[in-house]
Amino acid sequence: MLNSDKGGNFQPLRLMIIAGGGIPLLLLLWVSFYAFMPIDTGDRSDVAVVIPPDLFFPAIEKKLAEAGLIKADPRFLMTAHLMGVANSLKAGEYIFQPEPTPYRVLRELASGSRVQRPITIPEGANLKQIAELLGNSGWVNPKRFLDLCHDREFIAKLDYELDSLEGYLFPETYLFERGGHNAETIIRTMVAQMRKVLAETGAESGLPSAGLDRHGVLTLASIVEKETGQVLERPLIARVFLNRLRKGMKLQSDPTVIYGIDNFDGNITLRHLKELTPYNTYRFKGLPPGPIGNPGRAAIEAVMHPASGDYYYFVSKNDGSHYFSKTLAEHNRAVYKYQKKRR
């Protein structure tokens, strides 16, 4: 019975062996019986708790007590010292079965048996949106995340010379440990995945035929991503913008205008189209200074392998798809049919 800490059985001998000599027997027994006494968590469900990074032992103990995994007792710290783990508890999310013992809780935290959970970064999400998503889910401090994404010194450690990592975080589903991963680790993971995709698609070398380097490809891909949710349309959207760039025409892309507006309320107006921002492609020719979001693989491949055709215009058909035109006259007729006449 003294060899198991499950089912309410005690094993004070184990802690006595761990502690060694030099400790009064009664004190050791007092601590040991506490260490292997199962805690009634109130129900039969598993208990999850997140231990943020950089917490000192008292704060960790408070977290565990709030979760009902332990009871406030000086013997918890004494147990940790006897086990030699008081200064080696690891951050992260942990799941405990009902009625854990303090000894088992400490053993799990010391071993780092953390839980990984999936988090999906949507295609086209910008840095602010990603920071908010990760922050709301408890993975990062959103301010810290954004600060790092605009820290040139940190970005240089990733082998990039950029003012911002906008466009360089690959959107997909990741497995992260809440509390166990810090913002720096998550950013490095997402940048590494984008670098892998750039190499696989050939985008790392840019698109020389269109005069685009890697940054230009990512910038255009981020615009394509925002312009349509239809995968099959993306090569056509890319073709339109590449044709316009080649002709020296303005891109006139609403998503770029929206990106340059602070606190955009969701309703783009003629006033917005006239605003003087570096991202207003109604005012300036060529690409904006950088990506307006983080494009997925399909958008990057659309830029690298655009559709053929002399298309220069497109307009929404109000069903999620677009009508593509080769001439302004054709485009104006389409605008009347799908937009003005409908209104």
Q: Give the whole-angstrom CA distance, residue 275 versus residue 260.
A: 9
Which tens digit of pLDDT belongs to each residue from 153-201? 999 999 999 999 999 999 999 988 776 568 999 999 999 999 999 999 9
* Alpha carbon distances (Å) from 115 to 61, 86, 185, 339: 19, 21, 16, 50
pLDDT value at residue 39: 79
- Give the pLDDT score at 48: 83
Tens digit of pLDDT for each residue in 274-327? 888 999 999 999 999 999 999 999 999 999 999 999 999 999 998 889 999 999
More confident residue, 247 or 177: 247
pLDDT at 44 over 80: no
| Confidence at residue 190, expressed as pLDDT on a 0 to 100 scale | 97
Question: For the chain, what is the mean pLDDT?
Answer: 87
Q: How confident is the model at residue 341 (pLDDT cuts 50, 70, 90)?
A: low
Q: Which residue has the tokens 């999936």?
A: 118
Confidence of residue 22 (pLDDT cuts 50, 70, 90): low
pLDDT attached to residue 45: 78
Type of residue at 83: M
- The Cα–Cα gap between 140 and 159 comes to 23
Per-residue pLDDT at 309: 94
Give the pLDDT of residue 55. Answer: 84
For residue 96, list its beta bridge partners: 47
Task: Give the pLDDT score at 108.
Answer: 87
The tokens 């508890």 sit on which residue? 89
Domains and CATH numbers, the chain: 12-111 (3.30.1490.480), 117-201 (no CATH), 214-311 (no CATH)
Average pLDDT over residues 110-120: 83
Note the pLDDT tens digit of each residue in 203-218. 999 999 999 999 999 9
pLDDT of residue 198: 97
| Per-residue pLDDT at 168 | 98
pLDDT score at 4:
39
With CA atoms as reference, report the closest residue to 79 among 21, 140, 12, 132.
Answer: 12
Q: How do residues 30-41 score in pLDDT, each as one tens digit?
A: 888 888 888 776
The structure's pTM equals: 0.77
pLDDT digits (tens, 9 = 90+) for 259-285: 998 888 778 888 888 888 999 999 999
Angle between helices 12-19 and 74-83 (to 10 degrees): 60
Q: For position 19, what pLDDT does the model report?
A: 53
Largest CA distance in the chain: 95
* 217-246 residue pLDDT tens: 999 999 999 999 899 999 999 999 999 999
- Residues sharing a CB contact under 8 Å with residue 271, sequence separation 6 or more, in sequence order: none
Q: How confident is the model at residue 23 (pLDDT cuts 50, 70, 90)?
A: low
Quote the CA–CA distance of 187 and 189 in Å, as a whole number: 5
